[in-house]
Structure 1
Amino acid sequence: MAIQLSKSSKERREPSCRVMVVDDSAVARGIVTRTLEEEDGIKVVASVPNGLMALKAAGNHEIDVVVLDIEMPELDGLAALPRLLELKPDLKVIMVSSASQRDADISLKTMAMGAADYVAKPKAGLGGAESFRAELVSKVREHGTGAGKAAVRHPPSPRQNAASAREEEVARNPARPNRAPSKPDVIAIGSSTGGPQALAEVLRDLDPALTQPILVTQHMPATFTGFLAEHMTRYSGRSATEARDGEVLEPGRIYIAPGGKHMLVERRAAGGTIIRLDDGPPENSCKPAVDPMLRSLAKAFQDRLLVVILTGMGSDGLKGCEAVQKEGGRIFAQDRESSVVWGMPGAVAQAGICEEILPLRKIGPAIIRIAGGEGK
């Protein structure tokens, strides 16, 4: 079977993002290809039905992003992924899977193997799934033309230079707590694109003696968050679970916001703090979102809160961090170089409200330093 090369329906300038679509369904390939090529600056240069043909096409084309299905004949996505990355280490691979439990688990495994991101296929099919297509376009564009692109082919723009200068300024003059530092009673982490790998590294590095509960909001659909909790249990050696409404925060446990619900906390009059799951509208186009979690934590814990914003697309977490800062809480952000996408941490860093901007490998030790009782 010959490799199908797609052609744009209208003349465009040189694309800034070149994509290969890999899926055994001709219908799915057609929908994804049309969806992407409707966007200015994106061109699908190859469309193939399995991993073997993807490897051949990758050797014949300049490709920035691969949209890779999991279940395919001859060579599936799980087997093709490492071979594609071996062939082209800078390639950004976005896994596409069904929302079934099995594929959700496999998708998380592919993230640990080097996939850049994932998109869950809707159960009703791709044809009428506007949210699926919007998410796919956003992630392809971000990884192929934005912060996710490894190679720098043009000099930095004035805007990029300004952002870098702001990062350096904040690194030299970090925000300081507006009152005497307190040992945090709780740790909160927000993440999105690239988050599962970053979360695994941060949680793995934490001292087992830390007793604070850890609340995590990772942008992820339902089904996936349960498997994320299982993976984080294995990586961290701590009990990590999808949060349940009404459960009491317990020392040392990790609570993952379930897909499709915002995770909040509520102080009880009798003492203790409980989880509240909220079915309100998305914030920043996300559900769960980081902002509502941080607002509720800031209200409940005030200055006894430590927040970490990890790699992620967009600016979710910025408004929540502003509320945290007002209450005297402390904020860390992942640095640009170690982030898959420096959107969420970059927004917080450039707002000048984070205390430290840190490479991923230093975030775990920094949490230990603060939450372990040193305070500064």
Structure 2
Amino acid sequence: MAVKVLVVDDSSFFRRRVSEILELDSDIKVIDFAVNGKEAVEKAAQLKPDVITMDVEMPVLDGISAVKQIMASNPTPILMFSSLTREGASATLDALDAGALDFLPKKFEDIARNSEEAIKSLQNKVKEIGRRRLPRFVSPFATRQASKPATSQELDSNTSISQPDRTFQRAAPVSGSSASLKASGKKYQVVAIGTSTGGPVALQTILTQLPSNFPHPILLIQHMPAAFTPAFASRLNSLCKIRVKEAQQGDRLEPGVAYLAPGGQQMMVEARGSSKTLRVFEDDSPRITYKPSVDVTFASAAKAYHGDVLAIVLTGMGADGRDGARMLKQVGATIWAQDEKTCVVYGMPQAVANAGLASEHIALPEVAARLNKEVGC
């Protein structure tokens, strides 16, 4: 059955372009268009699409406000289109925080190395998020909304954002869940986390629950454009007790600091005597699809730290992280994977799980507690 898509944009040219690209795939059907956020909210309720593609900047009601209202009243997987600017990055992160599942650059030439690859990327993202049930955990946005009074704008809107968020329902505790497991007693020197689609919310969910005295450095590899990683690192740093920064060439790894791999570059760990530093560099290799790549960072961690690594693979499309996890496993490192039910896209964790590399499969709401227990926090 074809994935039904509502395309939302105030540009008739862009609406037509997106529609033409999507309908090149017989598994996708564009069922209607909306020219502003208000119309998107109304048509989401009327048409019940499987996926909504949404522009950020629109008249009448902007994309972020539209996402908030749709996720409060008619939860639907939403893919944002964004400009690759500092303002565009900030607005897109706001939209993800509000409940959108993923984003793509509005200039299709920024998606991939050629037009055919860009077309496939858009089609695959729409099909992946359209065929997945929305994750059953509490989003950071929903949590904050519940703890603060609604603004006058929200109260005046047709759908109050302060209503219960039906999209993200915390799963009931299960007997024998990973959070109840005892720490393994293994000693670590670093934690490495790789993710893609759904990763910004997943990382925020985990990192905001770590204490300021977290005993190890943390390596973060999130598939994200170069224009977005500075804003994302800054946002995480403002929300977390640990320090979060965009990684820079020569950074010395320190406990309680998370280093986010810069978009468009690779991040590797290098051993310099007893200390470990980061190598951040441009990578023009056609053999490596992702920049940053989870495989590249994991492989370097295996060489620098051997088995003293706790690696976690979170939600994301594709299989990036599997080969790096295999190298880590071979030197005695520990690998965890996010479970299927709480993934936006169960691709990367599934690849690791199917390869028999993960020792635990953990629901997203339990990862931070399990991690804190494992490292002795």
TM interval, short-chain normalised: 0.7 to 0.9
Q: Residue 335 of structure 1 contacts residue 359 of structure 1 at CA under 8 Å; is this kept in 2? A: yes
Aligned length: 329
Counterpart-to-counterpart distance in 2, 1:272 and 1:125: 37
State the secondary structure of the residue aligned to 2:263: coil
In the alignment, what sits opposite 1:306? Answer: 310
Q: Aligned letter for 2:124?
A: S
Q: Residue 16 of structure 1 contacts residue 144 of structure 1 at CA under 8 Å; is this kept in 2? A: no
State the secondary structure of the residue aligned to 2:317: coil
Cα distance change, pair 264–150 in 1 and its aligned pair in 2 (3 A) = closer
In the alignment, what sits opposite 2:271? Answer: 267
Q: Aligned letter for 1:31?
A: R
> How many percent identity over aligned positions?
37
Counterpart-to-counterpart distance in 2, 1:364 and 1:283: 34
Counterpart-to-counterpart distance in 2, 1:55 and 1:369: 42
Q: What does the per-residue CA deviation read over 1:313-362, in whole Å, with 9 as the maximum and x for residues that have no partner?
A: 11110111000000101111111111111111111122221111111122
Q: Residue 5 of structure 2 contacts residue 32 of structure 2 at CA under 8 Å; is this kept in 1? A: yes
Q: Aligned letter for 1:244?
A: Q
Counterpart-to-counterpart distance in 2, 1:356 and 1:124: 39
TM-score normalized by structure 1?
A: 0.82
Query: Per-residue deviation at 1:78?
Result: 1.1
Alignment equivalent of 2:39, drawn from 37, 47, 53? 53
1:104 matches 2:104: no
Say what the alpha-carbon RMSD is for the aligned residues.
2.2
In the alignment, what sits opposite 2:376? Answer: 372
Query: Per-residue deviation at 1:235?
Result: 2.5
Q: What does the per-residue CA deviation read over 1:25-70, in whole Å, with 9 as the maximum and x for residues that have no partner?
A: 1111111000000011100001221112212322332300000000
Query: Per-residue deviation at 1:282?
Result: 5.8
Cα distance change, pair 290–283 in 1 and its aligned pair in 2 (3 A) = farther
Output aligned runs, 1:190-201, within 5 Å. Answer: 190-201=194-205
Output aligned runs, 1:333-348, within 5 Å. Answer: 333-348=337-352
Output aligned runs, 1:1-376, within 5 Å. Answer: 15-89=1-75, 91-122=76-107, 129-145=115-131, 147-148=132-133, 182-268=186-272, 270-280=273-283, 281=285, 285-372=289-376
Q: Aligned letter for 1:305?
A: V
Q: Residue 135 of structure 2 contacts residue 341 of structure 2 at CA under 8 Å; is this kept in 1? A: no
Q: Residue 339 of structure 2 contacts residue 364 of structure 2 at CA under 8 Å; is this kept in 1? A: yes
Query: Per-residue deviation at 1:136?
Result: 1.7
Cα distance change, pair 84–198 in 1 and its aligned pair in 2 (3 A) = same
Q: Residue 122 of structure 1 contacts residue 132 of structure 1 at CA under 8 Å; is this kept in 2? A: no
Query: Per-residue deviation at 1:85?
Result: 1.8
State the secondary structure of the residue aligned to 1:294: helix
Query: Per-residue deviation at 1:131?
Result: 4.8
Q: Aligned letter for 1:32?
A: V
In the alignment, what sits opposite 1:5? Answer: none
Counterpart-to-counterpart distance in 2, 1:195 and 1:283: 23
Q: Which of 298-307 and 237-246 deviates more?
A: 237-246
Query: Per-residue deviation at 1:132?
Result: 4.1
Q: What does the per-residue CA deviation read over 1:204-251, in whole Å, with 9 as the maximum and x for residues that have no partner?
A: 122322121100000111111111101211232222111111221122
Counterpart-to-counterpart distance in 2, 1:216 and 1:239: 12
Counterpart-to-counterpart distance in 2, 1:298 and 1:181: 20
Q: What are the ranges of 5 or more consecutive residues in structure 1 without an aligned counterpart?
A: 1-14, 152-170, 173-179
Q: Aligned letter for 2:219?
A: L
State the secondary structure of the residue aligned to 2:25: coil
State the secondary structure of the residue aligned to 1:315: coil
Q: Aligned letter for 1:256?
A: L
Q: Residue 99 of structure 1 contacts residue 123 of structure 1 at CA under 8 Å; is this kept in 2? A: no
Q: Aligned letter for 1:50?
A: N
Q: Aligned letter for 1:103?
A: G
Q: Residue 78 of structure 2 contacts residue 101 of structure 2 at CA under 8 Å; is this kept in 1? A: yes
Q: Residue 108 of structure 2 contacts residue 118 of structure 2 at CA under 8 Å; is this kept in 1? A: no
Q: What are the ranges of 5 or more consecutive residues in structure 2 without an aligned counterpart?
A: 137-176, 179-183
Cα distance change, pair 129–326 in 1 and its aligned pair in 2 (3 A) = same
Query: Per-residue deviation at 1:257?
Result: 0.5
Counterpart-to-counterpart distance in 2, 1:85 and 1:369: 33
